[in-house]
Amino acid sequence: MRLPLLVNADHPLPEGFEPALLAPALPGSEALLEPDCAAALLALVRAVGGEGSILAVSGYRPRCEQLALWEDTLKARGEDFTRKYVALPGCSEHETGLAVDLALDTGGKIDLIRPYFPYDGVCGEFRSRAAECGFIERYQSGKEAVTGIAAEPWHFRYVGAEHALAIVSRGLTLEEYVELLTTRRSL
């Protein structure tokens, strides 16, 4: 079983990294994702009856867009906020096409940095079935010291069903899971 790609401040993407061809995250969405990720997201949203209410706010971002987001957020909201909620360019999962930020469509304005994705209703159903379709809630409350990012209940990462089910059943972060698998392989 191949390890899922780990991207964070300690594991940046190599210069020139290019994700697989991208596909729309959801019908009507401009967010692009790696094709397997996009297909799994669409299947999950349909399975929970979330079409039209679960929105893909952000998917793939090229490094230049991640840099602009970092700089704009730094100017608008300050360094503390930016470091908590925006990954450094080259260290963002959005640059892989395997991460998606989701929002519940409430008919109002959507905060692109911290979209509203609650733990109940259709969003709760999405969250409860995410692993079976290959997704993990990437940045969980209480795990900030491990991930280096504040809790983001709207940010989901595609790792494939086998990995997602193992991560969720053990209550691990992606960092902890990759370390566990790497340690086992080196024994």
Measured over all CA atoms, what is the biggest interatomic distance in the chain, rounded to whole angstroms? 53
CB 63 within 8 A of CB 49: no
Is residue 152 annotated as part of the catalytic site, yes or no? yes
Q: One of 34, 93, 95, 152 is an active-site residue; which one?
A: 152
Q: Which residues are designated catalytic?
A: 152
